[in-house]
Structure 1
Amino acid sequence: MELNIDTIIRLMSVGASALLLLLIIAGRVRRTLKLPLIGLALGGATYLINTSTTLRVPHSLEAIVDLISIVTPFWTWLFARRLFEKDPPKGWLALLGIAYIIGWILARWGDSLFLVGFYIVHILSLILIVDLIYNALSGLKDDLVQKRRLIRIYLPLLVGLQAAGILTYELVTSNAVPPPAVQITNASLVFALVMFGGLALLVTDPSLLVETDDDKKETKPENNLSPIETVLQEKLNAAMLEGEYRTAGLTIQSLAAHLNTPEHRLRALINQKLGHRNFSSFLNGYRIAEAKEKLADRELVDLPILTIAMDLGYNSLAPFNRAFRAETSVTPSDFRKSAIDQN
């Protein structure tokens, strides 16, 4: 009876994955998210078939189904990274792809090297899942988009329970066939992940998933302010004019406390009315503007860039360089040289 329940859940999940795949292909999903979402939907379906004791695919398709199945954690990780605007370097993607293919080949045809391939795939997948959970939760406080904040909570929870749980189980048992209860739990969690993906596509803020002319463009601010929002914006502007943005370690919580306003109200103002998705992008707008003034000032030409960064609230030079380059497409040193030469 348990195996029948397991098969039913797997068939439901495969069907849901097929519907999700159609939604992704037919919908205007952002280009950066479409490929990982397709990989996630296909991977979830093939994983359920590949790990089933009752469902089978034709022998000629077993190898490709196995490959699509084992790279599911990669697509899940890439989807989360891009959704949270932490797109990994292209070099990482190439190296990860090569590592997965090597592990797959060794595990499938390596004979005596089966365990080497098995451990490559599983350890690599666990590392990606841990990175996903870390990036989701570490960016929770900085994220201003309420619906994406919910994804940051529930996606790591589901992925942690299913992917990390089953990967750890398989590592400990060296890929032994799990008992029926574990199979049912695993299939149920995959089904929950697929349903979560479908709900994310249907109810999430369209600016996060729907394709736009510029994926990096901040959301368009709304101009209609309520009386409460008008007063709050005036207080916010006054605090920024006083240089509050220079405070090291400034968070949305501490700024809300400084303004004596509820945190959720300040989040909504900065996101929905001022058009910023992350609190750091809001702060960087002020910080980089002042940095550009100082770097272009001939009187401050001897002032070290590190000092400028620290004075503006950055804890080190690296995050300042990243923020400056993201805003201007050049390094602070190159900007200073160009500005001084032009003056």
Structure 2
Amino acid sequence: MPLATLDIALRGATVALLLVLAASLFRGFGTVLAGRLAAAFALGSVAHAVSYSIGSISQVTIAHAPLIALSTGNVVVFWLFTRALFDETFRLRAWHGLVWAAVAAFSFANCLWIAPAHGGSVRLSIVAVNLIALGFIILAVAQTIASWSSDLVERRRGVRVFIVGAAALYGGLNAILQILWSGGGSEAANTVNSVALAAVVAAISFAMMRVDGAELFPAAPEAQTEPVGADAGADQKLVDALMRLMADERIYRHENISIGTLATKLKIPEYRLRRLINQRLGYRNFNVFLNAHRIAEAKAALADPSQAEVPVITIAMDAGFQSLGPFNRAFKATTGVTPSEYRKLKASAT
């Protein structure tokens, strides 16, 4: 089979699989931010599968340019997807949309005007676009590394990392190939790229079919399981010891507190502490567990008339938050009002 025919066949199969995956994600998890972003990422990957061409410097048509722009903008969607996947408090903001629009617009303009207007700089234009893609892939990987340990649901952690890792590996290699071979198109390179893309999409689809959706997306609270007998007594003692660390030592105030630190203090394996917080206390994310204690302390301080003149940022920092922005977002997500509004409501009630 000629390479060109194999390339087209692989692209067609990949597009069909991505469309099915996007439809399934939207139908099953359209109410969950991570699910919607996953579906959007799958659709953006369709644009990539249709439009990519390793090393090509030919003139881009007006019909082709929007597909390339959507493909380039998809790296922003991938970054946002990883944020929503590993941070259940993450919310989309207007500036996220502006970042996506800016990247897509630059790619579109680059295809139709910037590169053609600078014939000798076509390679530079290709490099610029793919460096942007690499930048967002690096951000997505960094987000995954930073947030992975906070996920308390053991069975979904590996699947999530596999999905993000596989997508990032393909995206990174594709961007590097585009940079290295810009100006030197290769039919073999396109076919190899098609094989890699089809394999990654098939592997991700297979992985997602083998797990329950709740293991990937925070659609509902994890069902708690009650241990019995000696295990129940041992777990309760550990829960009591953990809550003493929270209430007496206020360990949640400590900078860079990690689940490993708590496990060391309790003298138990980290995996057991994850399971304890998840199954006995009902938390799916370690940072959410910490923030619950921080916000409880902040609420008490904001309601205290003797601290009426204490700045909100001081209360936030005392409770363990590192800056005002995350504190405001976490506080409003928990209470429905801002810290200042909460203080006013408590003051008017007395």
Q: TM-score range by the shorter chain?
A: 0.7 to 0.9
Residue identity opposite 1:277 in structure 2: R
Matched, 1:313 2:308: no
Quick check: 1:256–1:266 contact (8 Å CA) kept in 2? yes
Quick check: 1:36–1:78 contact (8 Å CA) kept in 2? yes
Q: Which residue number corresponds to residue 241 of structure 1?
A: 247
2:130 to 113, 122, 129: 122
Cα deviation, residue 6, structure 1: 5.1
Q: 1: CA distance between counterparts of 2:326 and 2:30?
A: 30
CA RMSD after TM alignment:
3.4
Matched, 1:104 2:108: yes
1:324 to 321, 324, 331: 331
Cα deviation, residue 109, structure 1: 5.3
Q: 1:251 to 1:38 in 2, by over 3 A?
A: closer
Matched, 1:44 2:45: yes
Matched, 1:73 2:75: yes
Cα deviation, residue 311, structure 1: 3.1
Partner of 2:148: helix, strand, or coil? coil
Cα deviation, residue 76, structure 1: 2.5
Quick check: 2:163–2:204 contact (8 Å CA) kept in 1? no
Q: 1: CA distance between counterparts of 2:172 and 2:133?
A: 8
Q: Which residue number corresponds to residue 58 of structure 2?
A: none
Quick check: 1:147–1:205 contact (8 Å CA) kept in 2? no
Partner of 2:306: helix, strand, or coil? helix
Cα distance per residue 1:7-53 (max 9 Å; x no partner):
56545434432442443355455453454334433343443343369
Q: Which residue number corresponds to residue 238 of structure 2?
A: 232
Residue identity opposite 1:82 in structure 2: A
Q: 1:258 to 1:103 in 2, by over 3 A?
A: same
Matched, 1:264 2:266: no
Matched, 1:141 2:145: no
Q: 1: CA distance between counterparts of 2:161 and 2:222?
A: 25
Quick check: 2:37–2:81 contact (8 Å CA) kept in 1? yes
Q: 2: CA distance between counterparts of 1:310 and 1:163?
A: 39
Q: Which residue number corresponds to residue 215 of structure 1?
A: none
- Write out aligned runs for 1:142-221 (5 A): 142-174=150-182, 176-178=184-186, 180=188, 182-207=189-214, 212=219, 219-221=221-223
Residue identity opposite 1:144 in structure 2: L
Cα deviation, residue 172, structure 1: 4.0
Cα distance per residue 1:126-181 (max 9 Å; x no partner):
2221221111111122221224422453344323322122213323443532462x
Cα deviation, residue 244, structure 1: 3.1
- Write out aligned runs for 1:21-100 (5 A): 21-24=22-25, 26-51=27-52, 62-63=64-65, 65-85=67-87, 86-100=90-104
Residue identity opposite 1:47 in structure 2: H
Q: Which residue number corresponds to residue 287 of structure 1?
A: 294
Quick check: 1:81–1:135 contact (8 Å CA) kept in 2? yes
Partner of 2:48: helix, strand, or coil? helix
Quick check: 1:296–1:336 contact (8 Å CA) kept in 2? yes
Q: Percent identity?
A: 29
Cα deviation, residue 112, structure 1: 1.1
Quick check: 2:305–2:347 contact (8 Å CA) kept in 1? yes
Q: 1:7 to 1:229 in 2, by over 3 A?
A: farther
Quick check: 2:25–2:36 contact (8 Å CA) kept in 1? no
Cα distance per residue 1:186-211 (max 9 Å; x no partner):
33332233124323532344335569
Q: 1:66 to 1:223 in 2, by over 3 A?
A: closer
Quick check: 1:144–1:277 contact (8 Å CA) kept in 2? yes
Residue identity opposite 1:51 in structure 2: Y
Partner of 1:174: helix, strand, or coil? coil
Quick check: 1:21–1:41 contact (8 Å CA) kept in 2? yes
Size of the alignment, in residue pairs?
332
Residue identity opposite 1:254 in structure 2: T
Quick check: 2:225–2:279 contact (8 Å CA) kept in 1? no
Q: 1:334 to 1:43 in 2, by over 3 A?
A: closer
Q: Give the ranges of 4+ consecutive aligned residues of structure 1 lying more than 6 Å apart after TM superposition.
A: none
Partner of 1:73: helix, strand, or coil? helix
Residue identity opposite 1:239 in structure 2: L
**Greater Cα shift, 40-49 or 60-69:** 60-69
Q: 2: CA distance between counterparts of 1:119 and 1:88?
A: 29
